[in-house]
Amino acid sequence: MDGSLGHFKAGQQRKAERNKSKGKFDPSKTNYKSGKAIKSSKKLSKAELDKLIADLNYKSQKRKKKQLKLLVFILVVLSLLLIWFLI
């Protein structure tokens, strides 16, 4: 059993180094703590909040329309290919 503790500790050290270098960014620099966003110190007025909500809703609707158009396009192409190969 000579040296087994040394091998074990070296393995632990290599594992710690791998885990340390695994991340692509530093989690301490994010704006999240345990899954909840940190509140910003800036308070929005009612008008600014309404404008922000309207902008978010507009972007969401725009994204949904784009996704729907893409889905319809893909379905049309697939159906045309299916018809072409069956005939």
Q: What is the pTM of this model?
A: 0.47
The counts of H helices and E strands in the chain are 2, 2
Give the pLDDT of residue 40: 57
pLDDT of residue 31: 61
What is the model's pLDDT at position 38? 55
Rounded mean pLDDT of 36-54? 78
Integer Cα distance of 13 and 26 in angstroms: 20
pLDDT value, residue 4: 82
Q: For 78, what's the count of Cα atoms within 13 Å in the CB-facing half-sphere?
A: 6
Which residue matches tokens 């500790």? 9
Can you tell me whether residue 32 is helix, strand or coil? strand
